[in-house]
Amino acid sequence: MQLTHRFNDVVERVRRLLLSRVGFWAGQTYDLLPGDNPNQLMVKAHSTKSKWVLIVGREYYHESVTEYPIGSLRDLKKALKIEPWSFPYKGIRLVQITRTTPQSHRVTNWVVKAEVLDQQETRPVFVLPETACLQALAASGPVSISRLGKIVLIISSDNGIASGIELESRDDSALKFWRAQLLSLSGLPHDFPVSPLSDKNFASQLINGLVRITKQSPLDFFVPLERAIRGNYPWQKASKMALAAAIAYLAFSSVYLVATDAWVEHRLSAIQTDATAVQELRKDVRFMQAEVNEVAGVFSEVAPLWVTWDVVTDLLKKGVAVSRINSIDGSVTITASAPKASEILSFLSNDARVSEVKYAQPIRQAGQLQSFAVAVRFNWPHSPANAQISTGAKEEFSGIGEEES
């Protein structure tokens, strides 16, 4: 709830800030300020802030509608640029183009009097006619808006938009005659009903129209740069200065790139000798490591036999006559003779150095001795001594290579 309240507070502040930059001109600049009712705005005179958007009252611009039998929008815009000035006074011309048929367009012209902008302290970015902001109200029928002691009548018909203004001090007969004339020019009956709009909703309707125009075609009401400024500005000198700055920038960039490239080449040449030595050393290390791995692979497939001689020595101490020793695939065959072959087999079976033992040949009796052969597999001590040596050498050589680089 508190977050929602803060968000609404920020939105309201932004709304008030934007409204403070919108003004209405009718002889002087009026502010459009929020009133007690959030849905209504009030008009306040004697504005002191500069305006970004200025809405001009009906009495300060000339309005006309012209049909052009030109189907291409691009050709129409070119024609409008070369069209001679046919308006009753000089000012800023604002144009709104509407396609009526595939081969024609309707152009609504608003020529804002030059005095309006001359009396502004700062030139506004956008200038909008009052009619443009309120024309949506007349889509369903003519409307009359009462504001600041005057009445604005707006009519939207098949012939385009038409509007006018008159003083509230006129009598009813003059007002009826003036309305009948404007209705007739718009192609409507002279007694066509006109919907009145209270001045309480006037400012709110202006802002609604401004929002609608901002969404649809804001650039139609963009204020161009003053001709005096465009004519007096030293374009030629500015172009020369910009060209000189561009040439200087390109020259400086080229010199910088050449100098940087030369410096990098110098640094590469300085370390080329050391880099070559390091590369050769790394090649030697890789070659020696491959040889070490190859030798280690060969020895890893050969079972060590030194345990065999320890066992045979113990057998000799027991009076065993060993006649032959063979080794195939890690299995050692001992051919011997002893008083009892079973005792020798039992002795070997209980030896911690022996993992497996069995008779390899049948026992033969030769006098007081028994001739036999046993196949023995030992518990080989598989120590990774070679692997540790090769790994240590690799790390040592790698460390040397990194220090050199």
pLDDT tens digit sequence for 54-91: 889 888 999 889 899 998 989 998 998 888 888 888 88
Residues 116, 260 share a domain: no
Residues 314, 242 share a domain: no
**Number of structural domains the chain divides into:** 3
> Does residue 277 sit within a domain?
no
pLDDT of 99 over the 80 cut: yes
- pTM > 0.85: no
Give the model's pLDDT for residue 247.
Answer: 92
pLDDT tens digit sequence for 318-363: 889 999 988 887 788 999 999 998 888 999 999 988 888 999 989 8
Q: Of all residues in the chain, what percent carry a pLDDT higher than 70? A: 85
- The region of weakest confidence among 35-39, 95-99, 180-184 is 35-39
> Does residue 289 sit within a domain?
no
> Does residue 18 sit within a domain?
yes
Q: Which domain holds residue 242?
A: 235-269
Give the model's pLDDT for residue 304.
Answer: 63
- pLDDT band at residue 163 using 50, 70 and 90 as cut-offs: confident
pLDDT of 131 over the 70 cut: yes
> Does residue 118 sit within a domain?
yes
Residues 111, 34 share a domain: yes
pLDDT tens digit sequence for 358-379: 999 898 988 888 999 999 988 8
Residues 121, 14 share a domain: yes
Instruction: Report which of residues 150 and 320 the model is more confident about.
Output: 320
pLDDT tens digit sequence for 194-248: 778 776 778 888 888 888 888 888 788 888 766 544 555 576 778 888 899 999 9
pLDDT of 170 over the 50 cut: yes
Residues 353, 257 share a domain: no
What string of H, E and C letters represents the secondary structure of the chain?
CHHHHHHHHHHHHHHHHHHCCEEEECCCEEEEEECCCCCCEEEECCCCCCCCEEEECHHHEEEEEEEECCCCHHHHHHHHHHCCCCCCCCEEEEEEEEEEECCEEEEEEEEEEHHHHHCCCCCCCEEEEHHHHHHHHHHHCCEEEEECCEEEEEEEECCEEEEEEEECCCCHHHHHHHHHHHHHHCCCCCCCCCEEECHHHHHHHHHHHHHHHHHHCHHHHECCCCHHHHHHCCHHHHHHHHHHHHHHHHHHHHHHHHHHHHHHHHHHHHCHHHHHHHHHHHHHHHHHHHHHHHHHHHHHCCCCCHHHHHHHHHHHHCCCEEEEEEEECCEEEEEEEECCHHHHHHHHHCCCCEEEEEEEEEEEEECCEEEEEEEEEECCCCCCHHHHHHHHHHHHHHHHHHHHC
Q: What is the CATH number of the domain that holds 104?
A: 3.30.420
> Does residue 168 sit within a domain?
no
Per the prediction, the chain carries an average pLDDT of 80
pLDDT of 404 over the 60 cut: no
pLDDT of 396 over the 50 cut: no
